[in-house]
Structure 1
């Protein structure tokens, strides 16, 4: 049994809210289903509430990334008897996850992410490509709703397209504020990202695709004709079987890729 860490005051600048509810912890571990021999990496272990059951389920092998230096001594004490427990000190946003993977197995990423870094960190991990096997994160429920949204819904947007272009995205379950200390002002939720082995709708130029998506969603109430003028004309959209009078939130990933691939073929790629 691991030792208990010393009491640590949550730091607002790190967005710290420590998970305490054992039922929620058990449910998260069950959803992740870690197995011995996998490369499991927890971002922001905090005081180790999720770390301990993950270590046990993963056969005593777990890597963690922790930015708060004041938490690291407590983690070392708590898991001193676990030789397979490895701490990487630093900011997860600056970690080269391809280098961390090295020649080993793809990384299974886990974490209760601070709200202030959740979106840029997910984008950073998506850019790591096949270095990541899957991701299970606790995020603000509002962000989970956007990531797992469907075309035509109010939450469908740029973040939805970017995440679902790369991954299958599943919203698993919500976590109430009372599961944390200190108690946050918002609901949280658990989300799973499973990168596609083969992209369903590959873009010729992914940079161009995401630039196009950003421009399309620049003003959600306006039509594609207005938001993409200067990029592509109404007649060309019609030739691609896309009504220029539609609003961007009605388009699915395949349609955005269809437009981007046409532009790339016409020499309008990001590098051109």
Structure 2
């Protein structure tokens, strides 16, 4: 099979099947094999790897994953792409296509039944509008995967790996870093896609930690506290938390902040994940 990830081959496949790109599904197909090679290298795919791919499109990345890995299960939501994938990937017996919405799948069962709970790596070129829900589904539901390598909007990638006291730092930074180590593999220009997106993309690697980065008494309290702290970024911690969804009274917050040696005039964006955990654990004692 010829390499799919070239401008000519991609146009040939799309034209042959009368395929029209869907803006609502955020479809942008890779046409640069060098980029794909860097993704596979950054994902550390070996002949012993099992891969769950999200959004294979016409199979540009899938083809190279199939050649590098032991097995690939690719989940594609667009039913119009299934006959195309059946043709472009027909020579790869280690590849299986699933026509489904990744957010509605029982991912744990899929991995247990068709992949390997100890060796599965998630790879995907995600539509920008659905990036966060997909990532958080894997993390919050504790889906058994080693790592998640995804191409997403560059600014979202920067938010995921941001540290405290930066403008990119927010609730998403903490949510992802609570579960993972975050690393940027490469930045990808719009020119390597058909059609070209309007923004730069980044490929990031999320290595799932054996246990969360910080120990918290109550995860619900921890994440709600984070959400409240960032919900009103211009307010001090004392004011933001006292008017948040946890409905904490100022006296309790003031005492908790003092016990944790955190200045009540600081803002949420200045707290490290460790400080948020410390504060959440102290507040959990009172509610």
If the TM-score is normalised by the length of the shorter chain, which range does it land in?
over 0.9
After TM superposition, give the deviation of residue 199 of structure 1 in Å. 2.4
Corresponding residue SS for 1:202: coil
Report if aligned partners of 1:3, 1:77 keep a CA contact under 8 Å in 2: no
After TM superposition, give the deviation of residue 126 of structure 1 in Å. 0.7
**1:3–1:225: structure 2 CA closer, same or farther, 3 Å change rule?**
closer
After TM superposition, give the deviation of residue 224 of structure 1 in Å. 0.2
Distance 1:165 1:112 in 2: 23
After TM superposition, give the deviation of residue 36 of structure 1 in Å. 2.0
Corresponding residue SS for 2:60: coil
2:217 counterpart residue number: 204
Report matched runs for 1:1-272 at 5 Å: 1=1, 6-7=13-14, 8-59=19-70, 61-102=71-112, 104-106=116-118, 107-129=120-142, 131-229=144-242, 230-231=247-248, 232-266=252-286, 268=287
Equivalenced residues, count? 266
Distance 1:174 1:82 in 2: 29
TM-score normalised to structure 2 length: 0.88
Q: What are the ranges of 5 or more consecutive residues in structure 1 without an aligned counterpart?
A: none
Distance 1:14 1:130 in 2: 24
TM-score normalised to structure 1 length: 0.93
After TM superposition, give the deviation of residue 3 of structure 1 in Å. 8.3
Report if aligned partners of 2:238, 2:253 keep a CA contact under 8 Å in 1: yes
Distance 2:180 2:198 in 1: 29
After TM superposition, give the deviation of residue 197 of structure 1 in Å. 1.0
Corresponding residue SS for 2:128: coil
**1:161–1:148: structure 2 CA closer, same or farther, 3 Å change rule?**
same
Distance 1:174 1:55 in 2: 23
Report if aligned partners of 1:140, 1:187 keep a CA contact under 8 Å in 2: yes
Distance 1:204 1:102 in 2: 30
- Pick the structure with more helix per residue: 2
**1:164–1:110: structure 2 CA closer, same or farther, 3 Å change rule?**
same
Q: What are the ranges of 5 or more consecutive residues in structure 2 without an aligned counterpart?
A: 5-9
State which drifts further: 226-235 or 167-176.
226-235
Misfit runs of 4+, over 4 Å: 2-5
RMSD: 1.6
Corresponding residue SS for 2:238: helix
